[in-house]
Structure 1
Amino acid sequence: MNSVPATVDPDDDVLVDDAAWPAYLGSTPSARRGDRLGASLFVLFLVPIGLASARDGMPPGPLAVLVALLVLYALCFLGVWWVPALWRGTARRLAMICVVFPVGVAVVLLSGLSGSMAVLGYALSASNVMLPLRWARVVGLVTVFAALPASWLVTGAVDWVSVVFLAMVAMIALGMARLARLVGALRAARSEIRALAVAGERERMARDLHDVLGHSLTTITVKTALARRLVESGADGERVAGELRETEDLSRRALADIRATVSGQRRMSLVAELVSARAALRAAGIEADLPHAVDDVEARAEEPLAYVLREGVTNVVRHSGAGRCTVRVGARWLEVVDDGAGPPGEPGNGLTGLAERLAEVRGTLDFGPLPTGGFRLSARVPG
């Protein structure tokens, strides 16, 4: 997965570390290749400067120095694009800037050609790659305004054409660098959103499967144990068969719930959970005091409260050792109270997942032992 920088703001000017000082490396591998090829072709515009100086009769000594500076300038510019390892790290970036700009200025001063001020566009382009855009803007403004007196020193008059052309190069390079960085940041953000969506779906699946299997397998285990005890005690065969039929029905419903969970089409029903809770408590030999109707429950609160009921009753059957379980329900709340010991130790995956599920609807979950003995689990969903 692509990593998102410390900030997706391309104008970030935090000089803390490399992660907080993003540099443009191209939004995609194909974009990087295209940018590098374009930079290589752009270097060809330096060739006419040396040819024009030779044609104008520049002495061999200064001409050799100019050619050497042009070669060094081109190598620095190409190194920025093709060998980013040269300027990995803030110190190296500043060092590269301190090399490429003086070399560019030396080319301008030594060539003394009309229009040569635009040669500094190579240095500006390199600064847009290596610096945060806020700093690159400052460098561009300083370069353009410094070109005014510099052109007067070189040619004896302000070369407005050259200065305006340099300003246009600075604006175009800065705009392209900003756009490229935004595209790269958006691509990275999209990759992270995709990964987060996958992780969220996995968490939802794990939580739903825990809710389905935890309650269903607990009830099936309790009813199977009850059927075994009835057989061992020589109870009536019809009663044993009834318990086994109910166990079979529970297994079928659990299988259907798992299929619905996997497909994302499962919806909890508070009425169905009350029926299932009554059967589970009866099979476990726990006295059940449950409401007979849930007509007053608001539609928005029914599904999250159904999950609360399922998890609460499952914990009563599995952990509490209770003899009695009481369930009370209102328009936007539900409470499960037993006279047992409650879940042992810290909250398990069930209560943790239940709290996360209620948080999605801005609901609250409270649980803990009662001062008079027993355990209480309550949930409330806002209106």
Structure 2
Amino acid sequence: MDLPFDRPSPVTRRWRVTGWLLAGVWLFFLNIPLFTAVHQAQPWRRAVGVGTLVAFGVLYVLIFQWARNLRQAHRPIPVGQARASVGLLLALGLAGIPGTAGDWLTTLVFVAAAAVFLLPPVDALVVVVLCALTPPVAAALVPGWEAESTVVFAVLLASFAMFGVSRLAQRNGELRAAQAEIRRLAVAEERARTARDLHDILGHSLTVVAVKAELAGRLLELDPARAGTEIADVERLARQALADVRRTVGAYREISLSGELAGARTALAAAGIIGDLPDDLPTLPAAREELFGWAVREGVTNVVRHSGARRCVIRVHPDRVEIADDGRGPAGPQPPGDGGHGLLGLRERGGRLDGTVTVGRRPDGTGFLLRVTVPVEQR
């Protein structure tokens, strides 16, 4: 299912406007060549200068937005298209020479900045060095052009500034990706928790309901009054299971060890299994008591459903809880990841307290033993 927070957050209108402003504000520095172009005596030079500068500015903004959108989408900037874009900017700057004369060198500031934002580091460094060397070299080779030290400084400054902007954009993209991954993992964890709780709650309740319904069916002709009592218990258990599901969905579900032991006594008796349960319980931290309650619920559910046992023994110690029976036992060794959804959920719960879940035969080689152990120092 595609949840709203599984998708990347949409870019807000405010952020889009900010992006256009970041690209457009630097066009102010084209005022020098634009002033030169506007004051050309010959109309065609004026037209060439103004036209190329307008095209240069529009192209620069579009290129900046194109690259920025790719970064926000966590997609790489195609190197070939990036090189072509930088080359086109340089070509427009050169094409404006008839109208801007030596002031066209100002466009090199934008070419260098675009190279830093678009190109791989080595390519960008080459472009920046060439842009910084062009003003003094052009002044030496072209009569009437003055050496523009301010352009060299502006090229270097703009390159460093754009390097910072590009790194910031990259870090912001990585941060958004990390946030999206955190949201995805949170959704996955919540789904696993809900599935685990529903399995543990309904698995136990429905097992007891099935056992009592079967018992009521056998007693229907022999002892109708007792059968009616069992049917009443079935109704009560069904309503309790429904309430448990609602509390679980609302994240209000709480498990107590004493409550689970009382439920285990009832379930074992209904299944005709002798229950040897403790009368006194040690004082336990809340988290450990809840874990041991889940262990009793899962263990007794498996005893009633699968074991064919005649006797079930439950022992609770400060560091562990054990549920053992004299039934058929496991068919073979139980790998750590085996045992179905219930034991998998129990292992996940135990792992949060650095606990271990052991499943297998009893020490005498018979029956079945479920043991959940938590270090005593765990609080």
Q: Give 2:257's aligned residue.
A: 270
Shift of 1:313: 0.8
Give the counterpart of 1:168 among 123, 134, 157. 157
Q: In 2, Cα distance between the equivalents of 1:68 and 1:263?
A: 65
Q: Which residue of 289, 303, 310 maps to 2:297?
A: 310
CA-to-partner distance for each residue in 1:21-65, whole Å, 9 max, x for gaps? xxxxx96565345434654675586586366268567998x9999
| Greater CA drift, 40-49 or 161-170 | 40-49
Q: What letter matches 1:194 in structure 2?
A: R
In the alignment, structure 1 segments of 5+ residues that lack a partner are 5-25
Contact 2:86 2:111 in 1 (8 A): no
TM norm structure 1 = 0.75
- The yes-or-no answer on 1:35 pairing with 2:29 is no
Instruction: Provide the residue aligned with 2:139 in structure 1.
Output: 155
1:374 aligns with 2:367: yes
Structure 1 residues 128, 307: closer, same or farther in 2, change over 3 A?
farther
The answer to whether residue 91 in structure 2 is matched with residue 103 in structure 1 is yes
Larger relative contact order (C-alpha < 8 A, sep ≥ 6)? 1
1:337 aligns with 2:324: yes
| Distance apart, 1:267 and its partner CA | 1.3
1:352 alignment partner, SS class: helix
CA distance in 2, matches of 1:59, 1:145: 35
What amino acid sits opposite 1:80 in the alignment?
I
Could you tell me which of 123, 128, 142 is aligned with 2:111? Answer: 123
* Selected match of 2:343 from 342, 348, 351: 351
Instruction: Confirm whether residue 80 of structure 1 aligns to residue 67 of structure 2.
Output: no
Q: How many percent of aligned residue pairs carry the same amino acid?
A: 36
8 Å contact 1:277–1:313 — kept in the other structure? Answer: yes
Asked if residue 360 in structure 1 is aligned to residue 341 in structure 2, the reply is no
CA distance in 1, matches of 2:17, 2:296: 59
1:122: Cα distance to partner? Answer: 2.0
Aligned partners of 1:219, 1:297: CA distance in 2, in Å? Answer: 27
Tell me the distance in 2 between the aligned counterparts of 1:224 and 1:353: 27
Structure 2 unaligned spans of 5+: 1-5, 141-145
What residue identity is the alignment partner of 1:201?
E
2:282 aligned to 283, 286, 295, which one? Answer: 295
**CA shift in 2, pair 1:324/1:104, >3 Å:** farther
Question: C-alpha root-mean-square deviation of aligned residues, in Å?
Answer: 4.0
The alignment covers a number of residue pairs equal to 354
